[in-house]
Structures are given as structure tokens and as C-alpha cells.
Structure 1
Amino acid sequence: MTGPGKAQGFLSRLRGDRRGVSAVEFALIAPIMIAFYFGLAEFCQGYMAQKRMAHTASAVADLVAQTDVVTNDELDDIIAIGGLMMKPFSSTTLTTRISSVTRDANGVAKVDWSRASGVTAYTPGGTVTVPADIISNGESAVMTETTYDYTSPIKYLMPAVTKFSSAFYLRPRRVDKVLCSNCPTS
């Protein structure tokens, strides 16, 4: 049998043949699933970097708030510890600033001392913005600010550098104000 009858028989068999449907469906869905997987993996890495940076700000403020008096060298060591806390992420783009601030009788928060790495320290006596519910007039707090420039290794979902930042405020534990014995003061 040749001609139109053979062609119709072939088309009839082809239309009824379900072999390979799963392979075609997989071929259509696989790229989307792979893209979701890489996007989720990249998002999770960025989220972990942001959480580590925020935890660094918290821990640095906590270490300073537990002391009565600190020195520049101790502050530098505490900042270095913060860099170690970023592992396995690189700490080269981590900036940290530790400051002691006191709210005066007029409600203005002024810097008592400040130490920084990767960013400029505040000028002692200068004013900073501290949320109103953190300290009252006459009280002080240890303020730590960190920023981190995260570069994704995959660059699929986050192709550019993402800048994370965190500020953490903690009241001194054992004294009214943490002093710095050899920091510049106003």
C-alpha cells in the first residue's frame, strides 16, 4: 500500500503514540526548574551574608557594652573579631563603626568617642541620629553601624553588588557610659 492510505495510517499511529511525552514535558519544564534552583541558591547566599553582617553589628556592640573602659587597640581587636564572624564570606567589603553616644538634656545625641574600620569615625562632640526610644536624656548607648557589599558568585538573580547595612544600639551593662581611655574626645 502506497500513497495517501499509508500516510494516513502513519499519522493515525503517530497521533495515538504517547511514548516520549514525559521526555518532552521534562524538556519544557527543566530550564524553568533549573533557573528556580539557581535563583533560590543565590538568594539564600545573599540572605546568609546579610544575617552574618547584622550579627556582627550586634556582637561588636555587645562586646563593647560589657566593658567599663576600652582602648583604641581593644576596639581594633573587637572590629577584627567582627571580620572573622563573616566567614565563609569575605570581610574585605565589611565596614564597621563603633561609637559611644550620650543624649544631652536638650535631647540631642552627641558622640563621646568613635572608632571605625573601612569608614570614617564620627567626630567626638558631633551629633548623630539615635531613635527616640533607645535612650533618654542623660543616658548613653554603644552604637555599632556595619555595611557590607555582597557580590553574588552566580550573578543570576543578583547581578550587581548588593549593599547591606545594619545599626545596633546597646546600653552599657555595668556602667552608665563606656569610656575610651585613649580615644579622641571633644
Structure 2
Amino acid sequence: MPRMTSPARPKRLSQFWRDRRGVSAVEFALLAPVLVLFYCGMAELTQAMMAQRRLNHLASSVGDVVARTPELTDARLDDVFHVGDTLMSPFSTTKLGICLASIVSDATGKDTVDWSQKYPAGAAVDCPAKGAVVSIDAGVLPASQSVVMSKASYGYVSPLKFVMPAEIVFNRTLYLRPRLSDKITRVP
């Protein structure tokens, strides 16, 4: 006659350590925080890179529009600045600063700011004042010529603040030659 065993026999300690039924749950519990941190970090990094690329595009586009205009009125300049706001979309423009300036070099190679305009007025972007002497490489601004300086600054703040809790400031400066005239004149 076969011997009967009790199905509710208590497990021994050695059998407990060999049991592999909960290994997946333990591995997931150990890896999940690392994976979530990695995912959030990549999302924040991607958003920051997108903001920087938009700022580069904004500085290029705004400067290009001004370089194609022989005479720049206040109304036209306001329109250009508002286009800059639109180009940063969907990012907030509260920490955006744009500076446009016409820099003229005389026959001796002395570079002087003919006119400059900052937007908005209290922006953190560094904008040289009219009449200021600046130093631009002769390869960019030869003697007796002019360039349009398009400068943009953007303070990126991550919406998650998980991996990048502090603000990152992106700056971009471009120099463009006037397309339709020797220099861009500013008329009120």
C-alpha cells in the first residue's frame, strides 16, 4: 500500500531560499526607480535641447529678417520681436531676451554700434548701447562695412525639475551682413 503524505507540510528554510517565484518582483522593485529616473532625465534633457534649438532658430530668423530690410521702422521692429516670441512656442517667453543692433566699422576698423534695440526692455540679454565701441573679428566685419547683430538669451526652467532643478541660460549671437543696402538704417 502506498504511503500517504500530508499536502500541508511546512517548508524548510533551505527550500525557502531555493524558491524562485518572487524573483521578478524583486528585480522590478530594484530596477524601477533607476528606470524612472533615466526616463525623466531624458525627457528633461530633450526639452532643454528643443528650447536651445528654438532659440538658435529665433536668433537666425530675426536677424535674417532685419538684414533684408534697408530701413527699419519702430513698427517693423516690434513685428520682428513678436515673431521671435512666436518662434519660441510652445516654450514660455517670460525669460526670453532679444537684442538687435547695427554695427558699423569705419575705415580704420573701429567697430561702433549705430543703433540697438532690446526686447523686452528689462530682458537679461546683453545689448550694447548706441555709440558703444565693440570688438568684432575683421573676418566677420571688415573695415568700412556693417553687420546686423542678432543676440538672443533664454532661461530654460524644466517643468519637472527632477533631474535639472536649476535654470539653464542659453545664449546665441549671430552676425549677418545687410542684403539690400550697405547698412540698415533706423527710422522712427
Match of 1:49 among 44, 48, 51: 51
CA distance in 2: counterparts of 1:157 and 1:109, whole angstroms? 43
Match of 1:80 among 82, 86, 103: 82
Q: Which residue number in structure 1 is paired with residue 132 of structure 2? A: 126
Q: What is the CA distance between 1:54 and its match in structure 2?
A: 1.6
In structure 2, relative to structure 1, the CA distance for the partners of 1:131 and 1:156 (3 Å cut) is: farther
Q: Secondary structure of the equivalent of 2:56?
A: helix
**Structure 1 residue 60 and structure 2 residue 66: aligned?**
no
The answer as to whether partners of 1:72 and 1:115 remain within 8 angstroms in 2 is no
Q: What is the CA distance between 1:117 and its match in structure 2?
A: 1.0
CA distance in 2: counterparts of 1:82 and 1:152, whole angstroms? 21
Q: What is the CA distance between 1:121 and its match in structure 2?
A: 5.1
Q: Which residue number in structure 2 is paired with residue 110 of structure 1? A: 112
Q: Which residue number in structure 1 is paired with residue 4 of structure 2? A: none
**Structure 1 residue 17 and structure 2 residue 48: aligned?**
no
Q: Which moved more, 1:30-39 or 1:171-180?
A: 171-180
The answer as to whether partners of 1:113 and 1:123 remain within 8 angstroms in 2 is yes
Q: Which residue number in structure 1 is paired with residue 37 of structure 2? A: 35
Which has a greater percent of helix?
A: 1
Q: Which residue number in structure 2 is paired with residue 167 of structure 1? A: 173
Q: Which residue number in structure 2 is paired with residue 140 of structure 1? A: 146
CA distance in 1: counterparts of 2:128 and 2:75, whole angstroms? 17
Under a length normalisation based on structure 2, what TM-score does the superposition of the two structures give?
0.87
Equivalent runs, 1:81-100 vs 2, <5 Å: 81-100=83-102
Following superposition, which runs of at least 4 residues in structure 1 exceed 6 angstroms of deviation? none
Q: Secondary structure of the equivalent of 2:163?
A: coil
CA distance in 1: counterparts of 2:115 and 2:133, whole angstroms? 11
Q: What are the ranges of 5 or more consecutive residues in structure 1 without an aligned counterpart?
A: 1-5
The answer as to whether partners of 1:143 and 1:168 remain within 8 angstroms in 2 is yes
Q: Secondary structure of the equivalent of 1:145?
A: strand
Match of 1:70 among 57, 72, 78: 72
Q: CA RMSD in A?
A: 1.7
Q: What is the CA distance between 1:84 and its match in structure 2?
A: 0.9
The answer as to whether partners of 1:54 and 1:166 remain within 8 angstroms in 2 is yes
| Count of residues paired in the alignment | 176
> How much identity, in percent, do the aligned residues show?
43
Q: Which residue number in structure 2 is paired with residue 3 of structure 1? A: none
Q: Secondary structure of the equivalent of 1:31?
A: helix
Under a length normalisation based on structure 1, what TM-score does the superposition of the two structures give?
0.88
